[in-house]
C-alpha cells in the first residue's frame, strides 16, 4: 500500500531523530553521525518524494546548518557556511547555464529543423529512422543537460509524429513502426547521456560526489575522450537491437514527404535559429579548447547564456520559466554541499576504514571492479531517477570499490557511465521513459527485454573494450591519474 504524504514526512523526520538518539559508532565523530542521518533521510526523500527535490534539499541544508550549530565540537570538523558550498560549485552553475541552451533549441524550433533535415537525408527506411534519432540526439546532447527536455521536448514529438504519419496507431497498429521508433528514442538517449559531461545533469553530480573519494577529476574533453569509444560503439548497435526485439512491420518510408511537411510548417530559418546555431558551435569549441583558452567550462556556459539573452534568442522570462534549470540549481547545489560536509566531518574516511576491515577481495581488484559495476546496473531496477541513484549509490559504490582494491581510475569511469546506461533497464529508469512509454506503442515485456540487453550489453562493452581504452588513455597521459 502506498504511503500517504503525512506518512512519508513522518518517515523522513524519524530517520534523523533516530540518529540523534543513538550514539555514534566507534571512530566516527558525533557531528558526522548526525549529518549522516540527515543525508540518509534526504536520499529516502528523493525516492519516496513527499515533496519535490528542491524542497527536500533546502530542508536538508537548513537541518544540517542547525545541527552543526547545536552540536558540541562540530566546528572542529565543519562550519555552518560549508552547508552552502555546493552553490559555489562551478559544476552546479555549469549545468544550470547549459539548461538555457537546452531550452533555446525547443523555443526557437532549431531542434525540430535539424531533425527534419536529418529525416530527409537519412530516413528512407524505419531502421534508418532509428539512426536519425541517434544522430539528432548525439548532436543536441552536448548542450542539453536535461535528457528529459531533449528526448521529451524535441526528439519524441518528432518521432511520434513520424510514427503517426506512417499510419502506426498505438492501439490498432503499434508494431507497424511506432513500437520500434519510440523504444529506440529512450534507449538512444540513455546512451548519448553519458558521452558528454553536459549531456545529462547527474553526470556532473556524480563526478562531484566521487572526486573527494577516488581523487579523479575530469574536464569536458577528458570526459568525452573516456566515453567516446565504448559509448559510440553502443550507440551504433542500439538501433539494431531495438529493431530485432521490436521489429517493425513497415520497412520503407516516404521520408521526403514527411520532412517537407515538417519544414514547411516551421517556415524560413529565423535570425534566432541562426544565432543559436553559431553560439552552439562556439560553446562546443569553448568546451573543447578550454585549456588552450585558459577558461573553464562553467565560464563558457555562462558567457553563452548571457549571449543568448543579449541576442534575444531567449528572454530572461524564458530563463525564469525554465523550472528544470532552477530546480537543478537548488537541489544539485544542496546535495553537493551535503556530501562535502560529510567528507569534511570524516564520514567517508571512517566508512572506508570500516569497510576495509571487513571486505577483502585480496589481490583480485579487477574482480571487485566488475562486481561493483554489475551491481551498479542491477540496482537501477529500484530507482526511478538518475539523480536519486547518483546521490544514494555513487558515493557508496565508490567507497566500497576503493577499499575492495578495484583500480580507482577504472572504477571512477565505470561508475560515471553506468549511471546513465543502467537506467535503460526499465521504462521508469529516467525522465524520458514515462514520456516515450506513455505514447502507448510499447508493452512492458519487450521494453524490459530490450532494456536488459542494452544495459548489460553496454556493461559488457565497457568492461572489455572500455577498460582497454581507458588504460590506453591513462598510460598515454590523456587522462589524469590518481596520486
Q: Where are the domains of the chain?
A: 91-323
Cell of 146: 536535461
The whole-number average pLDDT for the span 439-454 is: 90
**Given this model, what pLDDT does residue 359 score?**
66
Q: Which residues contact 469 (CB under 8 A, 6 or more apart)?
A: 226, 229, 230
pLDDT (tens digit per residue) in 367-394: 889 999 999 999 888 776 777 788 888 8
Is it the case that residue 144 has pLDDT exceeding 70? yes
pLDDT above 90 as % of the chain: 43
Report the percent of the chain where pLDDT is more than 70. Answer: 98
Mean pLDDT over residues 132-154, rounded?
A: 86
The three-state secondary structure class of 219 is coil
Phi, psi of 465 (to 5 degrees): -60, -40
Non-local CB neighbours of 413 within 8 Å, separated by 6+ positions: 216, 226, 466, 470
Of 465, 391, 454, 466, nearest to 423 by C-alpha is 454
Residue whose C-alpha cell reads 533549441 in the numeric block: 105
Range among 58-62, 141-145, 236-240, 362-366 with highest mean pLDDT value: 236-240
* CB neighbour burial string for 437-451, b if at least 16 within 10 angstroms, e if fewer: bebebbeeebbbebb
Looking at the DSSP bridge assignments, the partners of residue 375 are: none
Alpha carbon distance 79, 68 (integer Å):
7
Q: What is the mean pLDDT of residues 281-290?
A: 86
Q: What's the CA gap between 80 and 93, in Å, rounded?
A: 22
The three cell numbers of residue 299 are 565560464
> What are the backbone angles phi and psi of residue 252, rounded to the nearest 5°?
-100, 150
Q: Band of the pLDDT at 453, cuts 50, 70, 90?
A: very high
Flag whether pLDDT at 470 surpasses 90.
Answer: yes
Among 13-27, 148-162, 345-359, 436-450, which stretch is predicted with the lowest mean pLDDT?
345-359
Q: Is 70 exceeded by the pLDDT of residue 362?
A: no
DSSP E strand stretches across 225-323:
none
Cα 234 from Cα 462, distance rounded (Å)? 9
pLDDT in tens, 80-127: 888 888 888 877 887 788 777 778 888 888 888 988 999 999 889 999
Q: Output the pLDDT for position 1.
A: 58
Predicted pLDDT of residue 194: 95
For 238, 256, 355, 380, the CA distances from 424, given in Å and listed in that order, are 11, 32, 30, 9
Q: How confident is the model at residue 135 (pLDDT cuts 50, 70, 90)?
A: very high
pLDDT category, 361, cuts 50, 70, 90? Answer: low
Say what the pLDDT of residue 387 is: 79
Question: How far is residue 219's CA from residue 196's CA, in Å, rounded to a whole number?
Answer: 10
Average of per-residue pLDDT values in the chain? 88
Helix 110-122 vs helix 156-165: angle between axes, to the nearest 10 degrees?
A: 40
Q: Which three cell numbers stand for residue 322?
A: 525554465
Residue 270 has pLDDT above 70, yes or no: yes
At residue 483, the pLDDT reads 67
- Over residues 51-70, the mean pLDDT reads 89
Closest by alpha carbon to 115, among 283, 262, 223, 215? 262
For the record, the C-alpha cell of 51 comes out as: 515533496
| More confident site: 415 or 445 | 415
Amino acid at each position: 500500500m502506498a504511503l500517504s504524504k503525512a506518512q512519508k514526512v513522518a518517515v523522513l523526520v524519524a530517520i534523523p531523530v533516530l540518529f540523534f538518539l543513538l550514539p555514534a559508532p566507534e571512530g566516527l565523530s558525533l557531528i558526522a553521525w548526525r549529518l549522516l542521518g540527515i543525508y540518509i533521510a534526504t536520499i529516502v526523500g528523493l525516492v519516496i518524494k513527499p515533496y519535490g527535490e528542491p524542497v527536500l534539499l533546502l530542508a536538508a541544508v537548513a537541518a544540517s546548518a542547525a545541527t552543526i550549530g547545536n552540536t558540541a565540537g562540530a566546528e572542529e570538523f565543519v562550519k555552518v557556511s560549508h552547508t552552502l558550498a555546493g552553490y559555489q560549485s562551478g559544476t552546479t552553475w555549469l549545468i544550470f547555464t547549459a539548461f538555457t541552451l537546452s531550452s533555446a533549441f525547443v523555443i526557437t524550433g532549431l531542434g525540430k529543423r535539424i531533425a527534419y533535415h536529418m529525416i530527409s537525408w537519412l530516413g528512407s527506411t524505419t531502421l534508418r529512422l532509428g539512426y536519425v534519432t541517434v544522430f539528432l540526439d548525439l548532436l543536441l546532447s552536448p548542450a542539453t543537460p536535461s535528457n528529459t527536455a531533449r528526448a521529451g521536448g524535441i526528439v519524441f514529438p518528432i518521432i511520434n509524429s513520424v510514427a503517426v504519419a506512417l499510419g502506426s496507431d498505438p492501439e490498432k497498429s503499434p508494431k507497424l513502426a511506432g513500437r520500434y521508433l519510440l523504444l529506440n528514442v529512450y534507449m538512444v538517449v540513455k546512451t548519448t547521456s553519458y558521452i558528454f559531461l553536459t549531456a545529462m545533469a547527474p553526470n556532473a553530480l556524480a563526478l562531484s560526489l566521487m572526486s573527494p573519494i577516488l581523487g579523479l577529476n575530469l574536464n569536458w574533453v577528458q570526459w568525452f575522450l573516456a566515453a567516446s569509444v565504448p559509448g559510440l560503439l553502443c550507440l551504433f548497435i542500439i538501433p539494431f537491437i531495438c529493431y530485432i526485439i521490436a521489429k517493425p512491420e513497415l520497412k520503407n518510408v516516404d521520408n521526403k514527404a514527411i520532412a517537407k511537411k515538417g519544414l514547411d510548417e516551421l517556415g524560413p530559418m529565423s535570425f534566432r535559429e541562426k544565432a543559436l546555431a553559431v553560439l552552439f558551435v562556439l560553446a562546443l569549441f569553448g568546451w573543447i579548447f578550454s585549456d588552450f583558452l585558459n577558461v573553464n567550462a562553467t565560464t563558457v556556459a555562462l558567457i553563452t547564456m548571457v549571449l543568448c539573452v543579449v541576442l534575444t534568442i531567449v528572454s530572461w522570462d524564458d530563463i525564469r520559466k525554465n523550472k528544470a534549470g532552477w530546480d537543478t540549481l537548488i537541489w544539485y547545489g544542496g546535495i553537493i554541499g551535503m556530501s562535502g560536509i560529510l567528507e569534511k566531518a570524516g564520514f567517508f574516511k571512517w566508512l572506508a576504514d570500516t569497510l576495509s576491515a571487513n571486505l577483502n577481495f585480496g589481490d583480485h581488484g579487477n574482480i571487485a571492479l566488475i562486481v561493483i559495476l554489475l551491481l551498479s546496473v542491477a540496482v537501477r531496477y529500484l530507482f526511478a531517477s538518475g539523480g536519486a541513484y547518483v546521490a544514494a549509490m555513487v558515493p557508496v559504490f565508490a567507497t566500497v570499490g576503493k577499499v575492495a582494491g578495484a583500480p580507482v581510475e577504472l572504477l571512477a569511469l565505470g561508475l560515471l557511465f553506468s549511471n546513465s546506461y543502467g537506467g535503460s533497464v526499465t521504462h521508469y529508469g529516467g525522465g524520458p521513459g514515462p514520456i516515450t512509454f506513455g505514447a502507448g506503442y510499447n508493452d512492458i515485456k519487450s521494453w524490459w527485454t530490450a532494456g536488459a540487453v542494452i544495459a548489460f550489453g553496454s556493461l559488457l562493452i565497457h568492461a572489455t573494450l572500455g577498460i582497454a581504452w581507458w588504460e590506453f588513455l591513462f598510460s598515454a597521459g590523456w587522462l589524469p591519474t590518481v596520486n
